[in-house]
């Protein structure tokens, strides 16, 4: 019987990650992460890229951005737009779930 190994990253929103951590998790370069920050795709704490701190939620967003860019061959502008739309859809879905059913 063949066994498959699954690896993953447990993301806690309270985590503080360096740019190197984000690069490692996304399989990307620091230049790519810097561009995402410049485009406003990723939120960051700190002034210098070597001192930047990213939250777990931001890491999750970076992973989604990498996947979108790779799978759909999107520019960073396209990635920002798609992520924004995906988050808006999720927000609307949550609002619908909170509303009581109409009689």
Residue 6 has pLDDT above 90, yes or no: no
CA–CA separation, 1 vs 9, rounded Å? 26
Q: Give per-residue pLDDT as tens, 68-96.
A: 999 999 999 999 999 999 999 999 999 99
- Residue whose token pair is 């620091």: 30
Contacts of 45 (CB under 8 A, 6+ apart): 52, 53, 54
Provide the β-strand partners of residue 17: 54
CA–CA separation, 32 vs 52, rounded Å? 14
pTM here is 0.78
Three-state secondary-structure class, residue 45? strand
């Amino acid at each position: 019987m063949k066994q498959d190994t699954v690896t993953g990253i447990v993301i806690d929103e309270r985590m503080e990650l360096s740019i190197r951590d984000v690069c490692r998790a996304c399989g990307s370069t620091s230049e790519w992460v810097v561009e995402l920050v410049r485009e406003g795709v990723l939120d960051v704490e700190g002034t210098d890229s070597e001192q930047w701190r990213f939250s777990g939620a931001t890491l999750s967003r970076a992973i989604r951005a990498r996947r979108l860019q790779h799978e759909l061959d999107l520019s960073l502008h396209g990635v920002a737009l798609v992520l924004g739309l995906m988050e808006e859809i999720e927000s609307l879905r949550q609002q619908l779930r909170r509303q009581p059913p109409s009689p």
